[in-house]
Structure 1
Amino acid sequence: MANGSRQAAWEFFGAELKRRREEAGFTQVELGARVFVSGGYIGQFEQAIRKPQLDVAQRIDEVLQTDGFFERLWRKLIKDQRYTEYFAHAAELERLATEICEYAPMVIPGLLQTREYARAVFLASNPLATDEYLEELIKGRMDRTQLLKDATRPVYWAVLHESALRVPVGGPAVMAHQLDHIAALARERKVLLQVLPFAAGAHSEMGKMMKLMEFEDAPPTVYTEGVRSGSLLDEPAVVKRTQASYDRIRAAALSPEASLALIESAAEDHRRCASTT
């Protein structure tokens, strides 16, 4: 499904939600209270600005007595999109965020990846995949990276563990190019980058990827990812604890200037390795 037709389908979802809500005699606030989201969220669903999660679509069906209509439509739209089901909502929210703060313990974050690095990551996860399938995955990721090139891009602040700089994903030449790319983004002031060095030792979220997103007119959200699974969390206490963990990691990381020097040094190490193989 092309982007335009996918957006039109979500607009249909929203229009149907508004029509059936009004037929049932609920305001946005009243329906939101019954499905455990705010009235503002219901308004954003109806305008196709934000996509509901599956459990919200299911509760809407229950409250409006629509016999699974919104769940079936949700599943169809999610199935037709470019991202895995567990990441689809996070990808949507990235486009709406005013600020994204990310911690990456082992892999360069998707928004910063080059095509060659992304291909190596996807191939490692899908060793028997066809070239056509890999290209579809890569295109989805490269489309996401355009977010940081837009004039209205969000503030993006990433902390990379030094491990993410040292593991030669795709080989040393690919890794050198990847690190050159993120160094260029930092020098062009399109992103804020810090590195958590090996010398920092243990910390509170070892091995746990986290992405915090803030929005103009919605509560902040946390996205975390495990093995072929992901979770979007917006419960205030959880977001607050995650923000505190991220702040501690950021405080333990090198300064942006020292981080850039380490990134460029690691790129040179990979380049030397590539030249000797």
Structure 2
Amino acid sequence: MANGSRHAAWEFFGAELKRRRENAGITQAELGSRVFVSGGYIGQFEQAIRKPQLDVAQRIDEALQTDGIFERLWRKLIKEQPYTEYFAHAAELERLATEICEFAPMVIPGLLQTRTYARAIFLANQPLAADEYVEELLKGRMDRTRLLADATRPVYWAVLHEAVLRVPVGGPMVMAHQLDHIAQLVRERKLVLQVLPFAAGAHPDMGKMMKLMEFEDAPPTVYAEAVFSGRLLDETAVVKRVRASYDLIRAAALSPEASLALIESAAEDHRRCVSTT
């Protein structure tokens, strides 16, 4: 399903939600209270600004007694989008965010990945995958990276652990090209980037990827990922704790200038590995 038709389908989801809510004679705030989100969120679902998570769609069906229609619509729309089910909502929110802060402990964040690096990651996870399937995954990943080329791109601040720079994903040349790509984005001022060096030692939430997203007209959200699963969290206390952890990591990281120098040095190290083999 193309992006335009997929958005139109979500608009239908929202219009149907509004129609059924109004027919039931309840306000957005009342429905929100019944399904444990704010009335403002219900309004954003109805306008196709944000997409509900599956459990919210299921609770809407219960509250409005709609015989599972919103769950079925959700499953149909999520199935036909280019991302894994658990990441689909986070990908949608990236496009709406005014600011994204991300910490990557082991892998280059998706927004910064080159095609060859992303392909190596996908094949490492699914070595027997058909070429057509891998190409579909790559298209979704590369579509995401265009966000940083957009004139209305969010403020993007990434912190990479030094381990991310050293593991030769896809081989030394793929890794050198990947680091060159990041360095170029930094020089073009598309993002603020820092590296957390090995010398920093222990850090908050070791080994855990974190992504914080801020929005113009919605509460901030955290996306946290584990093995083949991911969660969006917008509880105020949780977001506050994650923000504090991110701030500690950022404070322990190298300056942007020193980080760029380390990235360029790591790229040269990978190139030297090729020349000596």
TM-score range, shorter chain: over 0.9
Normalization by structure 1: what TM-score? 0.99
For residue 231 of structure 1, give the secondary structure of its aligned residue in structure 2.
strand
How do 1:113-192 residues align onto structure 2 when only pairs under 5 Å count?
113-192=113-192
Structure 1 stretches of 4+ with a deviation exceeding 6 A read: none
Aligned-residue offset at 1:27: 1.2
Aligned-residue offset at 1:204: 1.6
How do 1:5-44 residues align onto structure 2 when only pairs under 5 Å count?
5-44=5-44
Aligned-residue offset at 1:4: 1.6
- Report the AA paired with residue 252 of structure 1: A
Identify the residue that residue 276 of structure 1 maps to in structure 2: 276
Identify the residue that residue 227 of structure 1 maps to in structure 2: 227
Q: Distance in 2 between matches of 1:98 and 1:131?
A: 35
Aligned-residue offset at 1:253: 0.2
Aligned-residue offset at 1:35: 1.0
Unaligned runs of 5+ in 2: none
Aligned-residue offset at 1:32: 1.0
1:42-81 alpha-carbon deviations (Å, 9 max, x no partner): 1110111100001110111111010111011111111111
Aligned-residue offset at 1:7: 1.0
1:143-198 alpha-carbon deviations (Å, 9 max, x no partner): 00000000000000000000000000000000000000000101111110000000
- Report the AA paired with residue 42 of structure 1: I
- Report the AA paired with residue 137 of structure 1: L
1:203-245 alpha-carbon deviations (Å, 9 max, x no partner): 1211000000000000000001111010110000000000000
Aligned-residue offset at 1:276: 2.1
- Report the AA paired with residue 189 of structure 2: R
Is 1:210 equivalent to 2:210 in the alignment? Answer: yes
Q: Distance in 2 between matches of 1:107 and 1:242?
A: 19
For residue 224 of structure 1, give the secondary structure of its aligned residue in structure 2.
strand
Unaligned runs of 5+ in 1: none
Normalization by structure 2: what TM-score? 0.99
- Report the AA paired with residue 216 of structure 2: E
- Give the number of equivalent residue pairs: 277
How do 1:57-72 residues align onto structure 2 when only pairs under 5 Å count?
57-72=57-72
Identify the residue that residue 260 of structure 1 maps to in structure 2: 260
Q: Distance in 2 between matches of 1:180 and 1:24?
A: 57
Is 1:50 equivalent to 2:41 in the alignment? Answer: no
Aligned-residue offset at 1:275: 1.9
Aligned-residue offset at 1:5: 1.5
Q: Distance in 2 between matches of 1:32 and 1:179?
A: 45
- Report the AA paired with residue 185 of structure 2: L
Identify the residue that residue 78 of structure 2 maps to in structure 1: 78
Identify the residue that residue 193 of structure 2 maps to in structure 1: 193
For residue 128 of structure 1, give the secondary structure of its aligned residue in structure 2.
coil
**Percent identical across equivalent pairs?**
87
Identify the residue that residue 90 of structure 1 maps to in structure 2: 90
- Report the AA paired with residue 22 of structure 1: E
Aligned-residue offset at 1:250: 0.3
For residue 251 of structure 1, give the secondary structure of its aligned residue in structure 2.
helix
Q: Distance in 1 between matches of 2:168 and 2:25?
A: 59
- Report the AA paired with residue 97 of structure 1: A
Q: Distance in 2 between matches of 1:106 and 1:184?
A: 21
Alignment RMSD (CA, Å): 0.6
For residue 85 of structure 1, give the secondary structure of its aligned residue in structure 2.
coil
Q: Distance in 1 between matches of 2:132 and 2:60?
A: 37
